[in-house]
Amino acid sequence: MQATEVNRIAIGVVRKPHGVQGGLKVTLNNIDLDTLRGMEQLFVKSGREWTQLSLKSIQGYDDYAILRFAEIENRNEADNYRDQVIYVDRDALPDQLRHEPAVDDIIGCQVEDENKLPLGIVEDILSTGAHEVLVVLSDAGETLIPLVDEWIVRIDLKDKFIQVRAFEEM
């Protein structure tokens, strides 16, 4: 039997249960509340297994959202999802978001500056509220690079490569 490639992207992380009716407090990335409201099915992954969740309701706040799903009926069930990553099918996104780089696309990219100086590999992306920040790891340590036009020269997702402005230029 041939494995089917799953084309899903991470849109958030469950922080903890919320309330007694099985709500999940989720930190969102890569998606706004209006787009999320248009989603019917979201997913979590345990090992190689995907669990499909039917979105019932959303409440949005400054830095998190409360999501409720038909399959999660109480706080005890919700606790099983603590620290789980929430995914959405890329094809379910509107066209303009479907082709934008997502966190999953950028993690693992090689980073170098305009002078061809290797800076390391993107290990994580932090959301600061104002913009995202690349966490780039190398043997020399950790470098934080704002994911904004002033710093980013080129992103090549096919070759998993990001070129940034040289630090002395900024």
> 161 — phi, psi (to 5°)?
-140, 135
Reported pTM: 0.64
* 56-99 pLDDT per residue, tens: 999 988 778 999 999 999 999 999 999 898 989 888 877 656 55
Domain residue limits at 162:
103-169
Domain assignment of residue 1, yes or no: no
Which of residues 96, 128, 152 is at a domain's end? 96
**End-of-domain residue from the set 59, 79, 96:** 96
Counting Cβ atoms within 10 Å, is residue 28 exposed (0-12), middle (13-18) or buried (19+)? buried
Final residue before a domain boundary, out of 62, 96, 130:
96
Question: Residue 40 burial by CB count (10 A; 0-12/13-18/19+): exposed, middle or buried?
Answer: exposed
pLDDT of 42-52, one tens digit each?
999 877 889 99
